Amino acid sequence: MPKDDAKSPDDITKELKDILAMAKKGPFFAVALGKEDPAFLVDKVKKPDVLAQKAKTEAKSSKLTYGNLEFEKGALTLYCQVNPPGNMMRSLKAYFKKYKVGAKFRFVLPDGTVEDDGADDGTGEIVKSFGRLIDGARQAANGDAARLKQIDGLQHLFDRAMESDPPDVDGAKKLIAAARKFAFTADDTGEGSEIKKTLVKSNTNWGKAVAAARSEVTKLESKVKTDCADLPGATRLDGAFKTLLSALDSLEKALAGPLTAGTATDDAKVHELARKKAMGAVDQVEKVLGSSPMFKSLDDNPFVKVQASRLLTGTLASIKKDLAA
């Protein structure tokens, strides 16, 4: 919201906290960048395009975005119907920080691309790299309590480094180097059989495919909520999409488990057994995608074109081919 002499900093702080509280119910929003503070409007009834016109007037600026809002686990997600200005993320972070209201930000763009508030300072990739290495380290520990305790210690130090203001990027990079010593994967060491390398590659590709499918689902969710906001039963949409996202999580785990089971060793017999189990898991996931009405109708919905199911089935076909080679 733009500067208003009638409002004290405490008043604005309360308004921002009210926005976070209302965002838990999935309302509509519009944000326009002003010369000082942005205009941030939220409403459970008024459509995003209506809010956008009001925000544009208040901020005296056409630099805006609008759509649906969600607040969960400390993160404010903006499902944008139009691409936000490039500096929108930075402006919102500064705005909330100015009035001492804590929140992380996440933008879901019209094409399904997801941007989080680590993207503009390089921390997003650091978090991903550490997470990938620490997962590999836990697998390689193979239940060794002493080693797992050391790994948990690294995780704790990394979390502290990233939660500092500003994030301690140099410290985080040192912890990534330490985590690499604990991790044992074909990608990091260059060791292991070709089957092991295929398992690691397949798991990476599957993770990317599921992440992309999630983005497609959030794109659909934003469109459906906008078009159906005034219809009876619209409040049940949240539950329906949570069920769909939960199903995606289950599919990811169903294949990720078998794909990673044999990567903590260089034993060729273990790799071969893991390959066979992974191929069986691929077949099972394909059956779920092919028989579930929810997934079968996902891409061909009447609201917006998405490629979630086709993306998953295409990746599964590629993984099956690699595992069979």
pLDDT mean for each 10 residues of the chain (325 residues): 60 83 81 90 88 93 90 82 86 87 83 64 67 78 80 84 71 78 49 76 88 88 85 76 87 90 78 91 92 87 88 92 86
Structure confidence at residue 164 (pLDDT): 66
Structure confidence at residue 64 (pLDDT): 94
Residue 171 has which token pair?
């410290």
Residues in Cβ contact with 75 at an 8 Å cutoff, skipping those fewer than 6 apart: 103, 104, 105, 106, 116
Q: Closest by alpha carbon to 74, among 130, 127, 20?
A: 20
Alpha-carbon distance of 31 to 67, in angstroms, equals: 9
Residue 176 has which token pair?
């990534």
Give SS3 for 249.
Answer: helix
Cβ(23)–Cβ(69) below 8 Å:
yes
Structure confidence at residue 185 (pLDDT): 42
Residue 248 has which token pair?
């995606």
Structure confidence at residue 122 (pLDDT): 55
Domain ranges of the chain: 9-116, 123-184, 191-324
Q: How far is CA 57 from CA 47, 62, 217, 234, in A?
A: 16, 9, 32, 30
Alpha-carbon distance of 85 to 69, in angstroms, equals: 17
